[in-house]
Amino acid sequence: MADQQWVLETHLQANNAVSSVTFSSNNSQYATNQAGNTTLLDYPNAPVFRIHFKVQFQTSANSLGSSNFYFHGNYQSSNDFVYDYASATSNTTMTPNSAVGTSRDYGYSTGNQQLGYGSMGSQFTNYNWGTAVTDLDGNSVASTSRRRGAWCTGWFENHFPDQAGYYPWHYHLGIVTDQQADNSASGPTPDWGAWCIGAGGCSAGPYIDTITIGSGYNFIGDFFLFRGMNGNYQANE
Amino acid sequence: MSLREPPVMCMIHDCATGETTERELTEEEYAIRDDMQAVAEEQQAIMAQKQADAVAGRQKLLDLGLSEDEVTALVGAPAPDGAEDVENPAPAV
C-alpha cells in the first residue's frame, strides 16, 4: 500500500474497568514510510489528533451527568466547551419513531471538556432483561453479559493550530439500546439512547502531548489514537 | 495496600515506549474524581427535575382545557414515552 497521511498511533484496550485512560508522549512516536524513512509525530509533522472510541459505562444510571464523561489535554484548567445533546431520559429523548428536540450544555474555564449528557449508563435499568440467550454462533450469553450492555461510540478530534494559547476540540458521540432504558411501564422502546455533538478548546497552554479521557463511573472500551500528518509519511500495512 | 476498597484504577499508555500501565488513583486523583462525581450527581438530579417539571407543566395546561395540539404548539411535543416499537409492536389484547 502506498504511503499515507494517516497513522494509527496506538490502540488502547481497556478490558478491565478503569476510571480513566491516558495517552502520554503523543509527540514522541515515529511514522515509517515504505522506504524506511522515519518522521516524528510531533505537532508540525502530525497536527491532527483523532480518537475513535467505543465505551461501556459500568452503571445502571440512565442519564449521566455532564461531568460524568470528560476529556482534556495537558491542562485541567481553562477549558471551554459547548455541546448540543439529546439525553437518555430528559424531555429531549429520542425513540426509533420520533425525536423531541435537543438541549445544550456549556462550560467556561472549567477543568475539562464535558459530554456526559450525550451518553447513558451501559447497564441501563432494564438491561438485565430476560434470561440467557443464544447468539448466532450457538454460545449462551447471560442476561448480565457485557455483550448485552450498550456501547457508546464516537470520536474526538483536534487540529493543533501551532499557536501559543489555544487548541480546539470537536467531538461527536452516540449510544442506543434495543430496550427502554428507564424501565418505565409505558411503551416498548422509549428512552432509547442519547447523542451529542460539540466543540471546545483550552487556553491554558498549547500542548496536548497528553490526552486523558475519564469518568466518575468505571468503564471498559477501546480507544484508537490516529494522527493526521502533513505528508505521506506512513506505510500502513 | 489500596487507598480505597475496591480500588479505582486508571490506564496510561506511553506512545513513545508502547508500554501500558494500570495503577490505582492517587489521593489527589481520588479527590478530583469525588468532586466531579458530586457535580455529576447534582446535574443528574437537575435533569430528573426538569423532566418531572415538563410532565407536570404539560398536564396543568391540559387541565386548563387546552387541547393536545394547542399544548404542543405552545411548548413542543411531549416526551415520547409510549412510542410504539414498529419492529416489535405490542401484542393485541
Can you tell me the mean pLDDT for A143-150? 84
Report B:52-91 residues touching A (Cβ under 8 A): 54-55, 76-90
CB A46 within 8 A of CB A231: no
Sign of CA pseudo-dihedral A73, A74, A76, A78: negative
Do the chains contact at B11 and A87, CB–CB below 8 Å? no
Residue A215's beta-bridge partner residues?
none
Residue A163 distance to chain B (closest CA, Å)? 23
**What is the C-alpha separation between B90 and A77, in angstroms, rounded?**
50
**What is the C-alpha separation between A140 and A143, in angstroms, rounded?**
10
pLDDT value of position B84: 43
Domain containing A79 equals 3-235
pLDDT value of position A199: 95
Burial class (CB in 10 A: 0-12, 13-18, 19+), A203: middle
Residue written as grid cell 500528518: A229
Cα diameter, chain A: 63
Convert the pLDDT of each residue in A66-78 to its tens digit: 999 999 999 999 9
Which residues in chain B have their CB less than 8 angstroms from residue A187's CB? 81-85, 90
Does the pLDDT value for residue A235 go beyond 50?
Answer: yes
Residue written as grid cell 494509527: A8
Convert the pLDDT of each residue in A8-59 to its tens digit: 999 999 999 999 999 999 999 999 999 999 999 999 999 999 999 999 999 8
Does the pLDDT value for residue A195 go beyond 80?
Answer: yes
**Domains contained in chain A, number:** 1
Convert the pLDDT of each residue in A83-105 to its tens digit: 999 887 765 555 556 666 788 89
pLDDT value of position A179: 59
ipTM of the shown complex: 0.86
Angle, alpha carbons A75-A80-A86 (nearest 5°)? 120
Does the pLDDT value for residue A160 go beyond 90?
Answer: no
Which residues in chain A have their CB less than 8 angstroms from residue B36's CB? 67-68, 70, 111, 216
Give pLDDT < 50 ranges for chain B.
82-93
Residue written as grid cell 501559543: A164
Please, which pLDDT band fits residue A121 given cuts at 50, 70 and 90?
confident
Please, which pLDDT band fits residue A180 given cuts at 50, 70 and 90?
low
pLDDT value of position A167: 75
Q: Hey, of B4, B8, B11, B32, which one would you mutate to test binding to chain A, going by the most A CBs within 10 A of its CB? A: B11
CA proximity to B51, closest of A87, A107, A98: A87
Burial class (CB in 10 A: 0-12, 13-18, 19+), B77: middle
pLDDT value of position A171: 96
Do the chains contact at A70 and B87, CB–CB below 8 Å? no
As a whole number, the mean pLDDT across chain A is 86
pLDDT value of position B89: 45
Annotate A21-53 with b (16+ C-beta within 10 A) or e (fewer): bbbbbbbebebebeeeeebebbbebbbebbbbb
Structural domain boundaries in chain B: 9-75
Do the chains contact at A21 and B12, CB–CB below 8 Å? yes
Task: Give percent of chain A above pLDDT 90.
Answer: 59
**What is the C-alpha separation between A28 and B16, in angstroms, rounded?**
5
**Side-chain-side CA neighbours of residue A86 (13 Å):** 20
Q: Which residue from A minimizes the CA distance to B45?
A: A65
Do the chains contact at A216 and B9, CB–CB below 8 Å? no
